[in-house]
Amino acid sequence: MTIVETNDDLVVVDCGLMFPDEEMFGVDIVINDFTSLREREEKFRALLVTHGHEDHIGGIPYLLRDFPKIPVVGTPLSLALIRAKLKEHKPGEWNAREVEPGDRVQYGRIETQFVHINHSLAGACALAIRTPLGTVFHTGDFKFDQTPIDGDPADFASIAKVGDEGVLVMLSDSTNSERPGHTLSERIVGEAFSNIFARAKGRLIVTSFASNVPRIQQVVDQSKRYGRKVAFLGRSLQNVVQYARQLGYLDIPEGLVIRLEDVDEHPPEQICVMTTGSQGEPMSALTRLSVRDHKHFKIVPGDTVVISATPIPGNEKAVSRTINNLYRLGAHVIHGSSGNAHVSGHASQEELLLMLNLVRPRYFIPVHGEYRMLVMHGRLAQQTGVAGDNVFIAENGDVLEFTKESAEKVGRTYGGNVMVDGSGVGDVGEAVLRDRKHLAGDGIMMVVVTVDAEEARVVAGPDLISRGVFYLPESGELVDELKAKLTAILQDCSVEGIRDIGNVKEHIRSGLSKAVFEKSRRRPIVIPVVMEV
């Protein structure tokens, strides 16, 4: 999420989500902190959407909870995908404004032009945001594909014209800034698919990102060419196919698509199933297929599985596990960039340099990438003539201020992560995560004891409950030692006249923690439950 703010007006570019890392136990997704927007609500004019990928639209349902009337501006497919997400959240009415590439919208004194670029999703646009001080050019996610599947290359003329008019600052996609050369055209994947479809003797199962409309079209085209029916597996994929087809982004002949339940009615060599799960997500369709956990479809020996994607950093183990499971079921797996079965949707160094030379910004902010990628992109900008002092490597929450004479970082705003866990938004913080990490690492022990409050003596217990520390049925001797320790602690409390339940609990907690550590070198969370009668 990027905020562009002037004295009188404010617009937001995209509002995505990210998935939790391995340290965020139990967290479903992570979204932006909207506090800075709440503090500027009177200036907030519009949300401008570059394209419909999750990392750019996934946070919109949560944003609209706070700002239900704010205009959401995007191309038809972007808005259709947002609409599908909103149905899951049931937010009520929302203010959608549909635009086409080339259109301009005005909010306050900020005018924004949507400029067509290529990406792995139809309808992607760069944004030329014209403010009273100057133009902010945001590339969104992009690549320069000279032979795109839809026959519609990026609008070089409009990009160059924006550059000729003068650009104050450019924000540009840094995902592939470390990769030399050019990103291969999506059409290369079609050639690879043709070879795969021609050689496969049994059923074909192809997985990619659900929103990769050009990739879906390639699968459809090759299925038609080689006489295969297509079934789509996975709700998100089915939604994208439905909307893209309705809007004219997908050309699927009548009769080519069949229901998954009808696959077995056709010979194996006449079947292609396209599915979600290219990243090894635990509940995704491909992951479930790899462990034979799908009601309507099973992987069998002779199937060919094509994983038309590369693992996102952090997902490598999950993808590898899925591939191994598929091989165990007798499938042949084609994965990664082997045989050009996948190409990136992001610009490599030569395309990034071309964008910089077309736009020729005075200031440059690399975005959308890990820190090292931002640094590399900043170096590329300097090669095109951007002064080193005019390149800003910004992190979440950084505030950059531009004037006619200068630009500088002037501080930080609310840039922290807001974690979503179930229906709770923001109620899981560092303290909760710390406890969850502790539980995952060392487990939990509960002590249940009943005491006579007046006489300060034990009536029942102490009983031990262990989860993730010891398996009690196999730890009889250790359990007896710990119970003896607890009995001694309670007797000491009685002798010393300690009757305050809080103090008794603290003695139990500290004493048992010490005893467990001495016996096992483990530090579980200890929860005493003391009941009075």
Pair of tokens at residue 245:
């087809």
The phi-psi region of residue 212 (left if phi > 0; otherwise alpha if psi is between -120 and 50; otherwise beta) is beta
Q: Is 351 exposed, middle or buried (0-12, 13-18, 19+ CB in 10 A)?
A: buried
pLDDT in tens, the chain (533 residues): 999 999 999 999 999 987 776 667 667 778 888 888 999 999 999 999 999 998 999 999 989 988 999 999 999 999 999 998 898 877 678 999 999 999 999 999 999 999 999 999 999 999 999 999 999 999 999 999 999 998 999 999 999 999 999 999 999 999 999 999 999 999 999 999 999 999 999 999 999 988 899 999 999 999 999 999 999 998 889 999 999 999 999 999 999 999 999 999 999 999 999 998 887 777 788 999 999 988 889 999 999 999 998 877 777 888 889 999 999 999 999 986 566 888 999 999 999 999 999 999 999 999 999 999 999 999 999 999 999 999 999 998 899 999 988 999 998 887 678 878 776 676 676 777 777 777 777 788 888 888 766 655 666 777 787 777 777 776 777 777 888 888 787 777 776 666 677 777 888 888 888 888 887 787 888 888 877 76
- Longest Cα–Cα distance of the chain, Å, equals 89
Cα end-to-end distance, the chain, whole Å: 56
User: Which of 31, 21, 13 is CA-nearest to residue 315?
Assistant: 21
Dist. CA 341–CA 323, nearest whole Å: 15
Q: Residue 25 contacts by C-beta under 8 Å, 6 or more apart in sequence? A: 433, 436, 437, 439, 440
Pair of tokens at residue 38:
């709440």
Q: Residue 439 contacts by C-beta under 8 Å, 6 or more apart in sequence? A: 25, 468, 525
pTM: 0.84
| 3-state class (DSSP) for residue 153 | coil
3-state secondary structure 212-257: CHHHHHHHHHHHHHCCCEEEEECHHHHHHHHHHHHCCCCCCCCCCE
Pair of tokens at residue 264:
């077995």
Contact assessment for residue 369 and residue 312, using Cβ atoms and an 8 Å cutoff: no
Q: Is 205 exposed, middle or buried (0-12, 13-18, 19+ CB in 10 A)?
A: buried
Dist. CA 240–CA 57, nearest whole Å: 14
Q: What angle do CA 52, 53, 57 make, to 5 degrees?
A: 70
Q: Residue 488 contacts by C-beta under 8 Å, 6 or more apart in sequence? A: none
User: Which of 437, 460, 429 is CA-nearest to residue 447?
Assistant: 460
Dist. CA 349–CA 182, nearest whole Å: 7
* Helical packing angle, 501-520 and 476-495, nearest 10°: 150
Per the document, the length of the chain is 533
Dist. CA 179–CA 160, nearest whole Å: 24
Q: Domains, the chain, ranges and CATH? A: 2-181+344-422 (3.60.15.10), 186-340 (3.40.50.10710), 430-532 (3.10.20.580)
Pair of tokens at residue 338:
């082997």
Strand order of the sheet with strand 332-335? 229-233, 271-275, 204-207, 304-307, 332-335
CB count in 10 Å sphere of residue 333: 19
| 3-state class (DSSP) for residue 123 | coil
Residues assigned a catalytic role: 173, 346
Dist. CA 405–CA 54, nearest whole Å: 37
Contact assessment for residue 410 and residue 401, using Cβ atoms and an 8 Å cutoff: yes
CB count in 10 Å sphere of residue 466: 18
pLDDT at residue number 496:
67
Q: Residue 347 contacts by C-beta under 8 Å, 6 or more apart in sequence? A: 142, 143, 144, 173, 175, 176, 183, 355
pLDDT at residue number 427:
62
Cross-strand pairs, 112: 105, 129
Q: Which residue has the tokens 């090759």?
A: 222
Pair of tokens at residue 237:
């994929």
Pair of tokens at residue 184:
């291969």
| 3-state class (DSSP) for residue 1 | coil
pLDDT at residue number 213:
92
Dist. CA 185–CA 345, nearest whole Å: 9
Q: Which residue has the tokens 């690399």?
A: 366
371, HSE (Cβ side, Cα atoms, 13 Å) = 3
pLDDT at residue number 499:
66
User: Which of 89, 77, 144 is CA-nearest to residue 355?
Assistant: 144
Query: How is 444-457 classified by DSSP, letter by letter?
Result: EEEEEEEEETTTTE
Residue 527, amino acid: I
Contact assessment for residue 486 and residue 447, using Cβ atoms and an 8 Å cutoff: yes
CB count in 10 Å sphere of residue 208: 25
